[in-house]
Amino acid sequence: MKRLAFAAGLFAAAFFTAAQAETTLIVGDQKGNSRAVMEASGVLKDVPYKIEWKEFPAAAPLLEALGAGAIETGLVGDAPFTFAAAANVPVKAIGAIKQTQDGLAIVVPKDSAIKSFDDLKGKKIATGRGSIGHQLILAALEKKGWSQNDVQIVFLAPSDAKVAYTRGSVDAWSTWEPYVSQEEVLFQSKRILTAEGLSAGLSLQVATPDAIKNKRAELEDYLRRLTAARAWALSNQQSYADTWGKLMRIPTEVPLAWLQRAKIKIAPIDDDVVADEQKTIDLYERNGLIKQKLDANTIMDRSFNGVIEKAAGL
């Protein structure tokens, strides 16, 4: 398996003192997302501090943990990030994760009579409150000129949504990767709507203000490694899928289907990213999900852009 080669101490020698080398960065991850690609690419060799991984099934509990000080950084979607920021959770976006939007979708069972979003009028759709799945439903309703009352949104965590969806207690599930690929590959579910053309679907690397202040060197190093790992994964999808599948105990076909269409890469917090986040804020405000008027610029930190741009070769 082809792996990235990093000279011993490449990052450590340039950025860390002996005292910093004894620190721990507590990282929240969703379904092994960042950890798997970093392990598969080999970028975690010679990390000059300890990374303590904490696993979460979705962004909402990850952000709750971040707000409580249980983690210092993590990967979340732009929609739950907006929800958390509006609730005054101490959080800032320090990097963006861009990908195609085919994997943010509304799925229905393989034998469902529902063929399009139009067929969901009056039907039950499971998703997480404030999640990117919720965002997709709201964007689709606006495009159709429908109100929120034209569908029945059932707010459930991913594990509960899966149970309700499997039992037929809901008609559809608005969800994200790897859940979409899992349903398609293992259960032949059908995507009847994706976020392409409806949502930027940004994911964001976020951190607490305390971590940004007190562990900047660790965060910068982590972002360098994550950016390099994502670049590696674009041409090493099988190796990444193998590692992710083993880590999550899921058949490799699931992550491979996801990664082949996602084309994930790390990007800086530039004007386009800020504008896309503002669109999400405005969507949630129009639909009454958040009451506080937010300016995307105030919840996004551009000071890590140089680190990401250099690592990405931009």
Name the pTM for this structure.
0.86
Q: Do domains 10-99+201-312 and 105-194 have the same CATH topology?
A: yes
Token look-up 């680190």 returns 307
Domain ranges of the chain: 10-99+201-312, 105-194
pLDDT at 17: 57
pLDDT tens for each residue of the chain, 314 residues long: 444 444 334 444 455 655 556 899 999 999 888 999 999 999 999 999 999 999 998 899 999 999 999 999 999 999 999 999 999 999 999 999 999 989 999 999 999 999 999 999 999 999 999 899 999 999 999 999 999 999 999 999 999 999 999 999 999 999 999 999 999 999 999 999 999 999 887 899 999 999 999 999 999 999 999 999 999 999 999 999 999 999 889 999 999 999 999 999 999 999 999 999 999 999 999 999 898 889 999 999 999 999 999 998 86
| Distance of alpha carbon 234 from alpha carbon 290, whole angstroms | 36
Q: In this structure, is the dihedral angle defined by the CA atoms of residues 234, 238, 239 and 245, taken in order, positive or negative?
A: positive
CATH code that applies to domain 10-99+201-312: 3.40.190.10
- Name, in order, each residue with C-beta under 8 angstroms of 306's C-beta and a sequence gap of 6 or more: none
CATH code that applies to domain 105-194: 3.40.190.10
- By CB atoms closer than 10 A (0-12, 13-18, 19+), residue 230 is buried
pLDDT at 10: 44
Q: What is the DSSP letter of 293?
A: -
Q: In this structure, is the dihedral angle defined by the CA atoms of residues 129, 25, 53 and 205, taken in order, positive or negative?
A: positive
